[in-house]
Structure 1
C-alpha cells in the first residue's frame, strides 16, 4: 500500500441539494445504497498483490463491522507485482459491480496498477449497478475516474487490510452506514497527540470554502492529469496526501498538477498527513512545509495541512462527489450531504 486536497469562487457555485453535478463534464450524481449489518462486500485487488496475512486482516476488519465477505475470483492471482493481469483485475471489478449478491466493492489493498485499468473499465456497467466503492492510495485512480465518468459517489477511505483503529472504524460507520448530513468530520486525538513532525498541522492560507470533494493520493492525481479521467477541480475542495516521497518529488508532482490541471480554480485545498515525506538529513532540499508553502500559497486558495487522512492508522472517510464545507484555520471539513442513500 506504500505509494512512490469561502474563497472568491464560492459564490459562483450555490448549494443545490440533490441537483446534478455542478461540473458540466461529470454526469448527474448517483448515490450508492448505504451499508447495513449483514450486507456483503466484494473484495477486489485492482492494484498490487495482497499477502495471505493482509487478506486475513481484511476479512477480520469486515467481520468486525458486521459485514460478510465475497472474494473476487482472481484475488489470489499474481502477475509480477500486481494482483493478476489487467484483464483478471478488470474482470473482478466488473463482476463485483454486476453481482446482485454484493452490496459494496471494497478494495482489499492499494499498491500500483489501477491507472492501467482506466481505459478498459465498463463505465456503463458501473452506472447501471451503483454500489459503494472504497479504498485509497492507488485506488485514487478508480475513485476519481468512476465518479467523473459515471457520476457515482465513491469513497476515499481505508482499504480492507488497513489498520482499523477506533477512529477509522467510527468514520467508516458514520459515512458508509449512518450517512447523516451535515456531518463535521472530527480530528483524530491520536493524530493530534503525535510528536512526529509530519503530523504537525499548518495553515498555509486561511479561509473558508464550499465545494464538491475530490482528490486522493498526490502521485495518482499527478499521473492522471491530462488523461481525461480526472474531474475538473473548478469550485471543488481538493484533498491530497502522499507517502514516502522526498520533498523534491512532492514539488515535482505539484508542479505537474498545477500545470496540467486547473488546481488554482479549486475553492479549497485540504492536505492530509504526508507520512515519511520529511527532508532527509544532510539533504539540500527544502522541507516538506517549505515545499507546500512555495507551491500552494500562490494559489490564493484556503489551504491547510494535517487533516486526518493519508497513509496513517487513524484516517477518516471522504465521499468523492458530495458537497462539503472547509475551514482551513480549523482544519475542519463538514459533509453537507450524505454520500449514501
Structure 2
C-alpha cells in the first residue's frame, strides 16, 4: 500500500507510564476466539486522546485533528509522544506502544482516535498488553495502517474497533453522518448506501459480522495469529497505489490463508491508483477483482465509500450487518457501541 500523505493531531495527557517490561506484554497469545466486547459510545463533552501509532505527523495535521474532533463536540488530549519521529514512523516502537497503552489505561479518555495511518502498526502487535485493552475497552478508530491494530485487538480481545476517518482526514458531512451514527448513537439499524460510483459485481443479500480493512495490511497479517477467519463474515477490503498484479497476489493470499473463499459477502472500497500504468501488460483492476472473486458466488459490491476516499463511512469490526448488493446498501443489525 502506497499511502498518500494524510495526517492530523490533537492535545493529550496521559495517566500511566509504561516501563520496558510492558513492551513484552502479550497476555492473550493463544488465538482463541474471544467473546465480542462493545465499547461505550460517546456523548458530547467526552474526552478523546489522539495518538500516532504509525507514521509521523506534523503540527498542521495535529491542528486539523483537534479541530475535527472539537467540531464533533469532543474534548481532545494529545498523547505524550504524538510528535515523535523516527524515519517513517512516529517514534520508536516503545514510544508508540506507550501512547497506546496510556490511552487505554487513562480513565478520563473515552475514545482513542488515530491521527493518521502510515507505517509501523504491525510492529506493535506482539508487544500490546491485550489484557489491559480487554479490561479497559474503549473506541479505537482509524483506517489504512490502523487495520493492523483493530484486527489484532479484535482477534485477541473481541473488542469492536472502528474502521473510520483518521483525525487528519476531511470530515465531510458524509463522514460526520456515518461516524456520529456509531460513536454517539450506537449504530443499530443505521444504513449506508453506495454512491453513483458503486458497482454491483454480484447480486444478492448476505449477513455476517464485519471484518476487514486495508488489503495490504490484511495480507501482511495472514498467518501471524493477529488475523481473523473470514468464514461466514462480510469482508470489507480497500487499498491505494497497488497495481493489479499485486492486488491479485494479496487476494489469493487471503483466499488461501483466511478463508476469503468462504465469506458470506464482500464489500470493496475505492482502490485509488490501482489500475495498470500506460504500457503495462496487465489486466485492469476491475478484471482482476472479477477474476479473483466472482467464482465465490457471493454478493459483492465494488467502490463502496470507505477507505482512501474523500467520503468514507465507518465500519465496526465484529458487528452483525446485512449486505444488499442489489440495492448497494449495508445495514447494521446491532449496536456497535453501548
Q: 2:193·2:328 contact (CA, 8 Å) conserved in 1? A: no
Match of 2:320 among 319, 323, 333: 323
Give the secondary structure class of the aligned counterpart of 2:304. strand
The equivalent residue for 1:117 is: 124
Match of 1:305 among 302, 305, 309: 302
Match of 2:270 among 270, 273, 278: 273
Offset, 1:248: 1.3
Match of 2:95 among 80, 88, 104: 88
Tell me the distance in 2 between the aligned counterparts of 1:280 and 1:319: 34
The equivalent residue for 2:46 is: 39
Offset, 1:203: 2.2
Offset, 1:31: 0.9
Offset, 1:167: 0.4
Residues 1:25 and 1:300: Cα distance change in structure 2 (over 3 Å): farther
CA-to-partner distance for each residue in 1:168-207, whole Å, 9 max, x for gaps? 011111111111411111335xxx2xxxxxxx33322222
CA-to-partner distance for each residue in 1:86-113, whole Å, 9 max, x for gaps? 0110000000000001000111100010
Tell me the distance in 1 between the aligned counterparts of 2:248 and 2:240: 13
The equivalent residue for 1:100 is: 107
Determine whether 1:296 maps to 2:293. yes
Give the secondary structure class of the aligned counterpart of 2:149. helix
Offset, 1:2: 5.1
Map of 1:1-341 to 2, 5 A cutoff?
3=3, 25-188=32-195, 192=196, 200-341=197-338
Aligned length: 312
Tell me the distance in 1 between the aligned counterparts of 2:134 and 2:304: 31
Give the secondary structure class of the aligned counterpart of 1:252. helix
Residues 1:309 and 1:34: Cα distance change in structure 2 (over 3 Å): same
Give the secondary structure class of the aligned counterpart of 2:241. coil
Tell me the distance in 1 between the aligned counterparts of 2:180 and 2:206: 26
CA-to-partner distance for each residue in 1:278-309, whole Å, 9 max, x for gaps? 22222111100000000111122211102110
User: Could you list the runs of 5+ residues in structure 2 that have no partner in the other structure?
Assistant: 5-30
CA-to-partner distance for each residue in 1:136-174, whole Å, 9 max, x for gaps? 000001011101110111100000001111100111111
CA-to-partner distance for each residue in 1:49-85, whole Å, 9 max, x for gaps? 0111111111110111011111110001111110000
Q: 2:81·2:95 contact (CA, 8 Å) conserved in 1? A: yes
Tell me the distance in 2 between the aligned counterparts of 1:258 and 1:186: 27
Give the TM-score of the pair, scaled to structure 1: 0.89
Q: 1:2·1:311 contact (CA, 8 Å) conserved in 2? A: no
Tell me the distance in 2 between the aligned counterparts of 1:180 and 1:110: 24
Tell me the distance in 1 between the aligned counterparts of 2:199 and 2:284: 13
Give the secondary structure class of the aligned counterpart of 1:274. strand
Q: 1:47·1:112 contact (CA, 8 Å) conserved in 2? A: yes
Structure 1 runs (4+) deviating above 4 angstroms are: none
Give the secondary structure class of the aligned counterpart of 2:137. coil
CA-to-partner distance for each residue in 1:305-333, whole Å, 9 max, x for gaps? 02110101111001101100011222211
